């Protein structure tokens, strides 16, 4: 059974347009039945000539199934036309002759496997053969067969067009799958980047504070506190990285366990983390978490996280203003810090591109660059019609109007 299955798979691979194996099986079975009916109708007279014409019509089938040769539509049509011509002209007329039906099968095969130009040539040759046989008195009612020739051609052409669409759809699905995998890899890379950038920035602030406490103040307790905070953040970062990498797939191929992602309700804790490490942050949050979708909340959280991490890395001594508010259908997050020395241009990195991708994926707007005496990041995310200004006014007292300032 395994050997027969392997042979069938190899033969199927020879059929153009990746047809199911049932298509050639049905086509070739019909051909064999027609050839057998034509032989029976002729009473097995002239056995050698009958056997030769039948064998000639079956050569395409034998070469495909036995030898494993790729079907050649024009070669199969030539063999079939020759066999039908022999059957029609070498015997007296037969009532309801089955031999011309062989042309229908070969014509459908040509249109299904070859080009339409080849099909038209075979169709014209078949019609000419039938008309010639009728004129010679060897075929009755030729128009009955001629009328069915276009029908066989249309069936073969429809099969080919349908299979082309199937192959095109497979290719499209493969491209979409590759794009989805690439998007998922980029998303996970952004998550890991954001986690690492945040944890390392805050950890470096704690380590810097600990070093200064030992070098300048000789305060061991303050240094130990800074080191403990750095250790805690490092462990938390490792846990976040394991969670993010776990999105790639669970053990034994099972689905990944979904964990809660951070949102706007976690921004105060994020600000507090940076502020406790020495960053001077003035935050003002005026939004209700219920008005934001999880995707919008995660995007705004990551933008705030990356912005504060960049400030902690490049300008830890500057003052920072973080604002989050909701207008009609839009949540706006802005993070600005002062600069001792104004800059006019900065080399864009993965952090800025990652923030932009997050926001633009939600059909939002992202801006980042120098302003008057500082650097600002602004993200606008649509939150839908349900989160209008009236709703935000009602929930402001429920959630956030928190200010954190560390001088």
Look up residue 82 and give its two tokens: 């020759």
Judged by DSSP in three states, 371 sits in: strand
Give me the pLDDT at residue 366, please: 92
Domains along the sequence of the chain with CATH? 2-140 (no CATH), 260-407 (3.30.565.10)
Burial of 260 (0-12, 13-18, 19+ CB in 10 A): exposed
Look up residue 249 and give its two tokens: 């797939």
Give me the pLDDT at residue 14, please: 74
Rounded distance between C-alpha atoms, residue 320 and residue 330, angstroms: 23
pLDDT band at 398 (very low <50, low <70, confident <90, very high): very low
Give me the pLDDT at residue 314, please: 79
pLDDT band at 128 (very low <50, low <70, confident <90, very high): very high
- 148's enclosing H/E stretch is helix 142-212
Across the beta sheet with 319-327, the strand order is: 280-286, 319-327, 330-338, 374-382, 365-371
Looking at residues 245-253, what average pLDDT do you find? 56
Looking at residues 197-213, what average pLDDT do you find? 73
pLDDT in tens, 174-183: 999 888 888 8
Largest CA distance in the chain: 120
Judged by DSSP in three states, 140 sits in: coil
Torsion of CA 133, 135, 139, 145, to 10 degrees: 80
Torsion of CA 149, 30, 160, 109, to 10 degrees: -60
Tokens 């491209």 — which residue?
175
Rounded distance between C-alpha atoms, residue 156 and residue 271, angstroms: 69
Rounded distance between C-alpha atoms, residue 171 and residue 86, angstroms: 45
- Let me know how long the chain is: 407
- In Å, how far are 8, 78, 228, 234 from 231, measured between CA atoms? 63, 82, 5, 5
Mean pLDDT across the chain: 79
pLDDT band at 342 (very low <50, low <70, confident <90, very high): low
- In Å, how far are 239, 299, 365 from 193, measured between CA atoms? 14, 14, 21
Percent of all residues in the chain with a pLDDT value above 90, rounded to a whole number: 14
pLDDT in tens, 64-101: 777 777 878 888 899 999 999 998 888 888 888 888 99
- In Å, how far are 57, 106, 146, 162 from 31, measured between CA atoms? 8, 8, 18, 23
Rounded distance between C-alpha atoms, residue 93 and residue 135, angstroms: 12
Q: How many CA atoms lie within 13 A of 182 on its CB side?
A: 6
pTM for the whole structure: 0.55
pLDDT at 200 over 80: no
Alpha carbon 150 to its chain's center: 40
Give me the pLDDT at residue 255, please: 45
CB neighbours (10 Å) of residue 20?
12
Torsion of CA 120, 124, 126, 127, to 10 degrees: 130
């Amino acid at each position: 059974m395994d050997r027969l299955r392997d042979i069938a798979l190899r033969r199927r691979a020879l059929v153009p347009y990746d047809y199911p194996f049932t298509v050639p099986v049905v086509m070739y079975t019909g051909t064999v039945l027609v050839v057998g009916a034509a032989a029976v109708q002729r009473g097995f007279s002239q056995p050698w000539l009958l056997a030769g014409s039948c064998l000639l019509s079956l050569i395409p089938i034998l070469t495909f199934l036995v030898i494993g040769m790729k079907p050649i539509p024009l070669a199969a049509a030539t063999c079939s036309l020759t066999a039908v011509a022999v059957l029609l002209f070498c015997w007296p007329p037969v009532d309801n002759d089955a031999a011309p039906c062989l042309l229908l099968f070969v014509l459908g095969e040509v249109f299904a496997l070859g080009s339409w130009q080849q099909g038209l040539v075979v169709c014209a040759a078949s019609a000419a053969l039938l008309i010639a046989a009728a004129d010679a008195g060897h075929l009755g009612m030729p128009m009955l067969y001629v009328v069915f020739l276009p029908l066989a051609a249309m069936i073969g052409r429809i099969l080919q067009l349908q299979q082309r669409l199937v192959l095109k759809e497979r290719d499209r699905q493969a491209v979409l799958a590759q794009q989805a995998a690439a998007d998922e890899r980029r998303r996970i890379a952004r998550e890991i980047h954001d986690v690492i950038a945040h944890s390392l920035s805050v950890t470096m602030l704690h380590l810097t504070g600990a070093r200064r406490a030992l070098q300048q103040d000789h305060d061991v307790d303050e240094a130990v506190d800074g080191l403990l905070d750095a250790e805690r953040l490092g462990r938390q970062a490792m846990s976040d990285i394991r969670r993010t990498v776990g999105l790639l797939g669970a053990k034994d191929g099972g689905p990944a366990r979904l964990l809660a992602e951070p949102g706007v309700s976690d921004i105060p804790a994020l600000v507090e983390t940076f502020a406790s490490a020495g960053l001077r942050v003035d935050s003002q949050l005026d939004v209700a978490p219920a008005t934001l979708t999880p995707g919008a909340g995660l995007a705004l959280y990551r933008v705030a996280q990356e912005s504060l991490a960049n400030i902690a890395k490049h300008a830890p001594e500057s003052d920072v203003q973080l604002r989050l508010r909701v207008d009609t259908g839009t949540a706006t997050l802005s993070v600005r810090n002062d600069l001792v020395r104004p800059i006019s241009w900065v080399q864009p990195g993965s952090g800025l591109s990652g923030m932009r991708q997050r926001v633009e994926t939600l059909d939002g707007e992202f801006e980042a660059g120098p302003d008057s005496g500082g650097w600002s990041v602004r993200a606008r995310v649509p939150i839908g019609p349900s989160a209008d200004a009236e709703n935000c006014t009602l929930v402001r007292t429920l959630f956030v109007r928190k200010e954190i300032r560390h001088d």
